[in-house]
């Protein structure tokens, strides 16, 4: 999807959800750390995801797994900028930068990135939201209880959905006060970030409540530990079917952007759920019998 079409998507009330492919240029991400550290490997992975149906590519240079060590902005830029430059030269691709640093975001936007995915919702860097407002680019604001260094601490909520929704509403207001237009903002309930398996399941069960904030919802469940706990799969790569179930549920309950590792299979999930949802519009209603 081109950046222009993505902007149109953010302003369209009825739409087929988009697939955001995950590209980690890190040595220590929980699922694919170290696989795409070289620029050629990262570009090949991005092109493969686009060919499989990705609408956006989200590039991160700092792991957000529990216990991860913060990566200085200069090192994030060293990892990210050559990849952004290479992908930008391909054209017609919406590039998202996964960072909580305004310095990193600014450098990557200068090199041609199109949006920012901030897992701190602008909390980690006071200059992030003013930067987003100044550049007029889309931003993802995600709920996160704690930091990677403290995510192993037992999280506590009286009502996880109500508290996540309240946090996101507050961050929406903060973004507006910084000068961001509503049309720039995407919200993310932060599945797996400072939440137990029970909390994650409650957020999925009541995902439609997050959609009442009136902004597109990004859902990131791909290969996460809570899926492994439920399906008894230790290796993240073995959680594809569990992930597919969460993607199907997410689409059926209002998710607009699905952030995933396994682009091809998840694209098929989105296509099938949308075919069911919009069966009459797509000409599948009428009683015909099929195989």
CATH number at residue 121: 3.20.20.20
Window from 91-100, 151-160, 194-203, 238-247 with minimum mean pLDDT: 151-160
pLDDT at residue 287 above 80? no
Given a cut of 70, whether residue 236 has pLDDT beyond it is yes
Question: Stretch 222-245: mean pLDDT, rounded?
Answer: 97
- Cβ atoms of residues 155 and 145 within 8 Å: yes
Would you say residue 181 has pLDDT above 90?
yes
CB 118 within 8 A of CB 101: no
Is residue 222 one of the residues assigned to a domain? Answer: yes
* Residue 1 within any structural domain of the chain: no
d(CA 107, CA 77): 7
Active site residue 224: yes
Among 165, 171, 223, 224, the active-site one is: 224
**Mean of the pLDDT values across residues 108-123?**
97
Residue pair 260/235 in contact by the 8 Å Cβ criterion: no
- pLDDT reported for residue 65: 66
pLDDT band at 215 (very low <50, low <70, confident <90, very high): very high
3 inside domain: no
DSSP bridge partners of 118: 141
Q: Is the pLDDT of residue 290 over 50?
A: no
79 domain-assigned: yes
Q: Which of 7, 79, 239, 259 is catalytic?
A: 259
Full domain range(s) for residue 203? 18-277
Which has more confidence, 11 or 271?
A: 271
Quick check: is 5 catalytic? Answer: no
Quote the pLDDT of residue 283.
67
116 in a structural domain: yes
Inside any domain, residue 272: yes
Residue 291: pLDDT over 50: no
* 183: its two tokens: 């049309």
The verdict on residue 6 lying in a domain is no
Q: What is the mean pLDDT of the chain?
A: 90
How many separate domains does the chain show? Answer: 1
284 within some domain: no
Which stretch of 83-87, 194-198, 202-206, 279-283 has the lowest confidence by average pLDDT? 279-283
Are 43 and 82 contacting, i.e. CB atoms less than 8 angstroms apart?
no
Find out whether 10 and 216 touch, Cβ atoms under 8 Å: yes
| Model pLDDT, residue 151 | 52
pLDDT digits (tens, 9 = 90+) for 148-179: 555 556 789 999 999 999 999 999 999 999 99
Q: What percent of the chain has a predicted confidence (pLDDT) above 90?
A: 75
In this predicted structure, the answer to whether residue 200 has a pLDDT above a threshold of 70 is yes
């Amino acid at each position: 999807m081109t950046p222009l079409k993505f902007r149109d998507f953010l302003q369209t009330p009825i739409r087929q959800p988009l697939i955001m492919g995950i590209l980690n240029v890190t040595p220590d991400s929980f699922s694919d750390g170290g696989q795409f550290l070289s620029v050629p490997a990262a570009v090949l992975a991005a092109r493969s995801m686009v060919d499989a149906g990705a609408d956006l590519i989200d590039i991160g240079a700092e792991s957000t797994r529990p216990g991860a060590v913060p990566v200085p902005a200069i090192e994030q830029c060293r990892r990210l900028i050559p990849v952004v430059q290479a992908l930008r030269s391909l054209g017609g691709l919406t590039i998202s930068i996964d960072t909580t640093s305004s310095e990193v975001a600014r450098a990557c936007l200068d090199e041609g990135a199109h949006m920012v995915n901030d897992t701190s919702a602008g909390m980690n860097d006071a200059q992030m939201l003013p930067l987003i407002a100044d550049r007029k680019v889309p931003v993802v604001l995600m709920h996160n209880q704690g930091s990677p260094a403290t995510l192993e601490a037992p999280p506590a909520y009286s009502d996880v959905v109500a508290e996540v929704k309240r946090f996101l509403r507050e961050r929406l207001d903060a973004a507006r006060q910084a000068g961001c237009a509503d049309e720039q903002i995407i919200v993310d309930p932060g599945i797996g970030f400072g939440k137990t398996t029970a909390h994650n399941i409650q957020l999925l069960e009541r995902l439609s409540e997050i959609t009442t904030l009136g902004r597109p919802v990004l859902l990131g469940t791909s290969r996460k530990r809570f899926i492994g706990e439920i399906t008894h799969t230790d290796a993240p790569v073995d959680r594809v079917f569990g992930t597919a179930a969460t993607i199907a549920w997410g689409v059926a309950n209002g998710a607009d952007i699905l952030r995933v590792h396994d682009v091809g299979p998840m694209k098929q999930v989105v296509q099938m759920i949308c075919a069911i949802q919009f069966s009459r519009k797509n000409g599948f209603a009428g009683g015909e019998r099929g195989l």
